Chains A and B, each alone.
Chain A
Amino acid sequence: MEDILERAVQRARSQGASYAEARYQSDRNESILLKGGTPEATSVDTQRGISVRVLVNGALSFGATNVLGKRSLDSLVSKVVKGAFAAASARRTPIIMSPAEMVVANHILKPRVSFENVPWESRLELLKEADSSALEAAERSGITLPGRYISLDALTTERTIINSDGGHVHSVVPRVSMHVFLTALHSEKGTMQRIISRGESAGWEGVERWDLPSVLGRETKTLSRILREAKPLKGGKMDVILGPEVVGLVSHESSGHPGEGDRILGREAAQAGETYLSKDSLGLKVGSDLVNVVADPTIPHSFGHYLYDEEGVKARRRYLIKGGVINEFLHDRETAAEFGVTSNGSSRSVAYDREPIVRMANTFVEPGDHSLEEMLEDVRSGIYLKNFMEWNIDDRRYNQKYVGLEAYIVKDGELTSLVRNPVLEITTPGLWKAVDAVGDELEFSSAYCGKGDPMQGIPVGTGGPHLRLRGIIMEGSS
């Protein structure tokens, strides 16, 4: 494969490209779905192909094909170079790739338990056990579960990337991902829904670590309690403790996305949107001194894990917010050149036929020194949002909404009654500046983050400890 990619790079160079990269990528997804306790189809979907990206006369062009013959690849290179010439006719300023130390590396993440050693029957057995656990918990709790949707994916991504600046990376990363959607019904109280996601860069041992039957049993029991016990919240000013699941999403949506170099430059303006930050925002105070938000692709087993990006740049840990101050943006080589810095290894692509663009990997609030109990102790009147169902954020990443799912009134340092659908609707600086205590235990969730056109849903980790926010105006229950 290296020979073929090298040939594509050389051909592009000979046709006028000042920079060229070629990538082979194969994504195999083994998927099963249990709906209402019975299996739908099992499926294996493997997408593989070669992409070429070139810079010609200061214009970028990308192309891909899954027809892997020599003639097809030669045709692809010519088409991509032609596309760059066409693009160059509609550019005033040239695109430049920032200088970067190129990596020659091989990164193979070996699963402890390979997917091929786990038969379909065993996978379905596990899902059925989890489904039964949820049903039993529902029966014990006096509710029903009219909607139960459990999907489990085993994914393997293999990439080889070669570029004209000397980068050469081969990687194989297995991932496991689970998505559960539960609808709980109480005959008098109505319905409540919960989405549960798990994801790791690992083999089947990742799934075994999750203990799905226990998770679904526990979550069903909680849904029952919310349905039976939760009372409406009277809105007003109060302290708010956010659970790690909420904090993870906040760090992703309200720090990671605003800090993406391509958004700041307006490259995503018509799709995933823009940002409230600008090129001049480094050093801007957006949060309290306690807020440190980290983006780190290198965390072992994390869902967003990678060691080398799509441009052959070594990944590293970055502080997006440090001490409440905007500290660093996420860059690929294109945006880094615009900002006069070097790439920090943020170029990712979800498939062979998708352009590499600036992406997050694992974004999280760095833990502090408070236990949850210590946070609660100092709250006279407040609310604890452990997790959420509904959320969204505007395209400048400035106004966000989280509707709590499992949420409790805090009174004189104690968790008291459950509240139903409390609404937190707040600006980004309003949220980060209100943080006065940071928990000491970091927890991660997994998600697929959407961006780009065509859409690229890419695996990411979102994480955080508990955060305490002072003096927040909560809306009443929705």
Chain B
Amino acid sequence: MKPLEICENALSICRRLGANDVVVSVMNKEESMVRFSNDQVTVVNSLDEVSANIFVCLGRRKAGINVLDLGVRGLEKACREAVAMASNTPESSLYAPLPHGPFDYDQKLLKKATVPNGPDQAVHWTQEAMAAARKAGASRTAGSLVARNTISHLATSGDVRGVAYRPSLELSIRAFGEGLASGHSLSISADEAGFSPAEAGREAGELAKAAKDPVKGSPGKMDAVLGPMVFADLISQVGRFASAFYVDAGLSFLAGKVGQKVANEGVELIEDATDPHAYGALPFDAEGLPTRRKAILDKGVLKTFLHNSATAEKFGTQSTANAGLIAPAPFCLKVGPGDTSRDELLSQVDRGIYVTNDWYLRYQNYSTGDFSAIPRDAMFLIEDGQIVASLRELRISDNVLSMLQRVKGLSKERKWIKWWEVGTPTLSPTALVGELHFTASSQ
């Protein structure tokens, strides 16, 4: 069966079996991934997958199942199992009827589009990135490159029908230099025109070269310039924990703070999957509502949580078109630009640290936002506005909300970030944060 037939048949069967709400999604994914290390291709991965999922409600009883056999009998069996599971599940406290369409989706977001995703092209781009890094001074490189085409079909009992095409190109490259020096850069794009593997390779190589022979940093509270990879990691925590699901579960430091100033007034965070040229663009959410632009933070004030229909019902508000059938989530985040350059931010620091990448962010307490994360790759000591040394072996131990209040400036230039550590595509500037708390191993 073709995807739309699967959707229509599953809707029909589930409704016949008594389901009041039904969501059927079918996704085709075809991708090549090149992993590389030591300037060589480690492995080429090729995936070709079709997945179908059914979600049903019997009253307020919910169940979800994926369909293995997409033939007529397999579909009937999956529908019966989903309805039987729902009938054996107690009522959920989080329930609202599905949004009722049909909806008018932005035609620009429905446009058929693909990217080249064969292994030869992917290896070629990888070689471009590796060569650029080496030319910029790297001694070796590692990373991954993904070229993916995804087609998502959605049908709901709320008269929603939609097809979305999501092409994507992602490169993550880490370059290494002398004496534990390294630099990391990315290029992510929804089309070939915006994809710059050589540029990412060059930036990673330059960072690795600049960071040569790093020395152990000293702990303390210092002004810090956080590059886009770092600030995206930190600000995307706000996007993640703006999900009403986490708020409801007691797992969000944003709980109870809508309407309050939680960040410096210069900080604006937009959730926006409606830019047709942006990586992460989507015409509709998992319930079929047209996606829309909204501010999570406006002048530092928390404006809204992110909702699907069920969480919106519980919170007494409207869906923000961020469904997840169980947990709403951000699709695409944008931090508002500042009015200065990265170099001007650096020049404002008397003594501080410039961090270009971080990873392994973990919370001591999700409801307060106390966390630590580890700077990795190029990190520099700043004195009198100048980079004077390359550093290593420090940790950021701080609080998300407190840190956002201490944002002193943001750069005009912004960069799209998504990689192993930052799951939601985030357009982020470089940020200057006052009195960031750096710690280090004692022995």
Report A's interface with B, CB cutoff 8 A. 32-33, 35-36, 38-49, 59-67, 72, 75-76, 79-80, 82-84, 86-87, 89-93, 119-121, 124, 145-149, 181, 183, 190-193, 265-273, 353, 355, 389-396, 398-401, 403, 421, 423, 425-427, 430, 453-455, 472-475, 478
Known contacts A149-B251, A399-B393, A430-B443; A42 and B89 CB within 8 A of each other:
yes
- B residues touching A (Cβ–Cβ < 8 Å)? 32-51, 55, 62-66, 68, 81, 85-86, 88-94, 119-120, 122-123, 126-127, 140, 142-144, 172-174, 176, 180, 184, 248-251, 325-326, 359-368, 370-374, 376, 393, 395, 397, 420, 439-443
Contact B88 A120 (CB under 8 A): yes
Q: Compute how far the CA of A44 lies from the CA of B50 in the bound complex, rounded to whole angstroms.
A: 17
**Which residue from A64, A66, A92, A478 sits with its C-beta under 8 Å from B364?**
A478
Q: How far is the CA of A78 from the CA of B62 in the complex (A)?
A: 42
Whole-angstrom CA separation of A32 from B142 in the bound complex: 39
Query: Would you give the shortest CB distance from A262 to chain B, in whole angstroms?
Result: 9
A271-B144 contact in complex given A86-B119, A90-B126, A427-B441, C-beta closer than 8 Å:
yes
A35, A66, A83, A190 interface centre (most CB from chain B within 10 Å)? A83
- The reply to whether A41 and B43 form a contact with Cβ atoms under 8 Å apart is no
Quick one: which of B43, B92, B119 contacts A355, CB cutoff 8 A?
B43
Contact A401 B37 (CB under 8 A): no
Please tell me which one of the listed residues B33, B64, B89, B143 contacts residue A124 in the complex, with CB atoms under 8 A apart.
Answer: B89
Whether A399 lies near B441 (C-beta < 8 A) is yes
Given A36-B93, A42-B85; A394-B48 close (CB under 8 Å): no
Q: Return the chain A residue nearest B127 by Cβ.
A: A90
A44 in contact with B81 given A36-B93, A87-B123, A193-B366 (CB within 8 Å): yes
- Whole-angstrom CA separation of A225 from B147 in the bound complex: 52
Q: Complex formed: what's the CA distance from A148 to B81 in Å?
A: 28
A260 to chain B, nearest CB (A): 13
CB atoms of B250 and A147 under 8 A apart:
yes
Contact of A265 with B37 in the complex, beta carbons under 8 Å: yes
Task: Tell me which residues across on chain B come within 8 A of A392, comparing CB atoms.
Answer: 360-362, 372-374, 395
* Given A48-B68, A478-B364, A65 contacting B47 (CB threshold 8 A): yes
| Known A40-B92, A119-B88, A181-B249: A454·B374 in contact at CB below 8 Å | no
What are 20 residue pairs bridging A and B, where the CB atoms are less than 8 Å apart in the complex? A33-B326, A39-B91, A43-B64, A44-B65, A45-B65, A62-B43, A64-B46, A82-B119, A86-B123, A87-B123, A190-B368, A265-B37, A270-B174, A389-B365, A392-B360, A392-B373, A396-B180, A399-B374, A399-B441, A425-B439
Of B64, B364, B395, the contact of A399 (CB 8 Å cutoff) = B395
Alpha-carbon distance between A32 and B64 when the two chains are bound, in angstroms: 11
Q: A41-B55, A392-B360 provided; 5 other pairs, C-beta below 8 A?
A: A181-B250, A267-B37, A269-B176, A390-B370, A473-B442
- Give the complex CA separation of A100 and B296 in angstroms: 56
